[in-house]
Every structure is written in C-alpha cells, then in structure tokens.
C-alpha cells in the first residue's frame, strides 16, 4: 500500500484497528479542535471523556436525577436539559467508550459562550471567527445551522416559531461506524 493509505495494524492493547493514515492525521486535527472547545465550554463532561463506572455512579449526584440507557453501540445519559452519548471512538470496534455527543437545551451550559436563548446569527459569527465552516452534513442535510471544524460538528437548532433564538445545541465528533462494512 502507498504511505497515504498505510494500514495502522495495532492499537495500545495490541488489537487490530481499521484506520488509515489519512483518518489518523485528521483525527489529530480534530482532537486539537475538541481540546479548544472543551477549554472554552461548560458542558459537565469534556467531549471525548472516557466512560467508566465512576461516571455512572457520580453523574446522578452532579446532575440530579437522570436516566442511563445501555444501547447496543452506546451508553446514554439523559437528564433535565442535557444528554450525553458515550460510544466507540474513533470507530465502534474499540473496547472503550468515549463521550462523542452532547445535546443540551438548558442555558446553564455553553460552548464558546454560545447557549440556548442566544441569537443564532451572532452565534454563527462566533463559530466562523473560530475557524468553523457552515456545512450541510449527510446525516443532517435538512438542517441549515451545522458548523464543522475538522470532524467536530456543532448544530444550532432554532425554535420553531422563532428562527432567531437557539433552542438547543448538539455537539458531536464524527465516529466511523464499521459494523456495516462489506468485506
């Protein structure tokens, strides 16, 4: 294989992984973008936080009564105003779960100072000035307010009756779902 598509054969646990160099290089850029976002946000947990049983045990104390949902490919926590989705990163065949998606509608949470209730146009300018680009994404092509920086996506949803104020925010790092591959 040429060096651009060099197969990465082993991970830290000496197991096969299915990533190629161009994905790895983009992942490094994405993780820099995520660190920047984590440092400038208050979301309770940092995006890409490693899931463990202590999180499950301590989260209800920190966020009030919530509900843990063990799905086939993710572990979700839903409570008033915020939900967390822990899944395989960078793909679904790894052993560990990481926080890969955060959805929130409470204005006590923010990313880069942007929170529900803010003007969507001012928020767009903040994201553009931080290096995000406005995109249509294949899983959200019906939504106009999707912003991307590497593989970090931020979706600003407006209230139905007011296309000016943000009603909720979705923050997501793209994962590679390998379960449906054809060999």
* pLDDT tens profile 111-169: 999 999 999 999 999 999 999 999 876 555 556 789 999 989 999 988 766 668 999 99
End-to-end CA, the chain: 18
Say how many C-beta atoms besides its own lie within 10 A of residue 54's C-beta.
8
- Rounded distance, CA 20 to CA 40, Å? 30
| 3 state SS of 21 | helix
Q: Two tokens at 79?
A: 């409570």
> In the chain, which ranges are E strands?
7-8, 19-20, 41-42, 67-70, 74-79, 82-88, 97-104, 110-111, 133-135, 146-149, 152-159, 162-173
* pLDDT tens profile 25-55: 677 888 889 999 999 999 988 999 888 888 8
Residue 151: closest CA among 83, 78, 101:
101
- Rounded distance, CA 183 to CA 181, Å? 6
Give the predicted TM-score (pTM) of the model. 0.77
């Amino acid at each position: 294989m040429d060096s651009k598509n060099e197969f990465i054969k082993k991970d830290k646990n000496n197991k096969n992984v299915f990533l190629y160099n161009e994905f790895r290089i983009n992942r490094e850029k994405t993780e820099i973008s995520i660190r920047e976002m984590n440092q400038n946000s208050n979301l309770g947990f940092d995006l890409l936080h490693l899931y463990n049983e202590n999180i499950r045990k301590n989260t209800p104390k920190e966020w009030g009564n919530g509900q843990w949902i063990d799905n086939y490919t993710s572990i979700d926590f839903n409570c008033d105003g915020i939900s967390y989705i822990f899944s395989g990163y960078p793909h679904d065949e790894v052993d560990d779960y990481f926080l890969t998606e955060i959805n929130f509608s409470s204005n006590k949470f923010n990313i880069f100072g942007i929170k529900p209730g803010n003007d969507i146009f001012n928020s767009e300018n903040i994201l553009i000035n931080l290096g995000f680009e406005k995109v249509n994404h294949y899983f959200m092509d019906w939504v106009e307010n999707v912003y991307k920086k590497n593989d970090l996506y931020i979706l600003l949803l407006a209230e139905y009756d007011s296309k000016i104020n943000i009603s909720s925010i979705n923050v997501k790092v793209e994962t590679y779902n390998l379960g449906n591959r054809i060999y």
